Amino acid sequence: MSKQRAKLVIGNWKMHGRLAGNAVLLEAVAQGAGELADTVHVGVCVPSPYLAQAQALLEGSRVVWGVQDVSAFTSGAYTGEVAAPMAVDFGASLAIVGHSERRAYHRESSELVAVKTQRVLEAGLTPIVCVGETLEEREAGTTEQVVGAQLDEVLVKLSVEEAARIVVAYEPVWAIGTGKSATSQQAQDVHAFLRARLAAKDAALARVPLLYGGSVKPENAEELFRQPDIDGGLIGGASLKDQDFLAICKAAGAVSVTQ
């Protein structure tokens, strides 16, 4: 008999949002999350200026909140940076690190992502560590080599106890914001590889949640979430529309109670 397992669905707003629209969206998501199965956990990662608003509107609901990046430093003369402990001051519990857009547009290396992961853990937050390959890398057949190296760079800097507190998100770069999604089998294959890679460090790490991110929509969410190694999703564009985001959360609930 297969065991019931929880699903995790996290929205990544990226650089979107204004106060009035945020309020409508957050209130709708908070209300809708209250109707979900207990086996679904929901979060949103908002632009840092809106952390206080997220805290005000989500506190007491089933939705947790967080940031989309943190500094590699805890404090100091680093103009424009946001330190992980600052996010904690606003009730945050999540922090995305190593998103492909940070790696591409801000030239973030896997080593820097690993340092940021350490800062997130030190602050008591849960890091969502993103890994993924470009279209060129997939076509060259190096997907596992690329994502394995990205994950290894983080794991080598963490103790087993620290690594057990992370979440890993696989986001094929070619499927982010393009409308193209990896097939459920393509996604499952990489998730299975990542789970094996985690277990190779320690058997306990086989339980680390693995999320899929890359044009997840209400139409494909359930099929993706039914895969044995996909524990939920990191949702971009669809997280900006409350009906779409909640439909994805409901898809996660439908799967989690039948597995």
d(CA 26, CA 30): 6
Q: What percent of the chain has pLDDT over 90?
A: 91
Secondary structure class of 132 (helix, strand, coil): coil
Convert the pLDDT of each residue in 101-131 to its tens digit.
999 999 999 999 999 999 999 999 999 999 9
- Element (DSSP H or E) covering residue 253: helix 242-256
Instruction: List alpha helices for 59-207, DSSP H.
Output: 84-88, 100-105, 110-122, 135-139, 143-155, 160-163, 184-201
Please provide residue 65's backbone torsions phi and psi, each rounded to the nearest 5 degrees. -140, 165
Asked whether 166 and 154 are in contact (CB, 8 A), the reply is yes
Amino acid (one-letter) located at 90: F
Convert the pLDDT of each residue in 2-54 to its tens digit.
445 799 999 999 999 999 999 999 999 999 999 999 999 999 999 999 999 99
Residue 92 pLDDT class (50, 70, 90 cuts): very high
* CA gyration radius, the chain: 17
How high does pLDDT run on average in the chain? Answer: 95
Joined together, the tokens standing for residue 11 give 């929205």
Beta bridge partners of 67: 95
Considering only residues 139 and 145, tell me which one the structure prediction assigns the higher pLDDT.
Answer: 145
Convert the pLDDT of each residue in 52-91 to its tens digit.
999 999 999 999 999 999 999 999 999 999 999 999 999 9
pLDDT at 259: 57
Convert the pLDDT of each residue in 164-207 to its tens digit.
999 999 999 988 777 777 899 999 999 999 999 999 999 999 99
pLDDT at 175: 82
Please provide residue 53's backbone torsions phi and psi, each rounded to the nearest 5 degrees. -65, -40
Question: One of 101, 108, 171, 191 is an active-site residue; which one?
Answer: 171
d(CA 240, CA 21): 10
Of the candidates 96, 149, 103, the residue with the CA atom closest to the CA atom of residue 125? 96
pTM: 0.95
Neighbours of 155 (CB within 10 A): 22
Please provide residue 58's backbone torsions phi and psi, each rounded to the nearest 5 degrees. -105, -15
Hey, what domains does the chain have and what are their CATH numbers? Answer: 7-256 (3.20.20.70)
Question: One of 99, 108, 153, 191 is an active-site residue; which one?
Answer: 99
Q: Is 171 a catalytic residue?
A: yes
Convert the pLDDT of each residue in 205-253 to its tens digit.
999 999 999 889 999 999 999 999 999 999 999 999 999 999 999 999 9
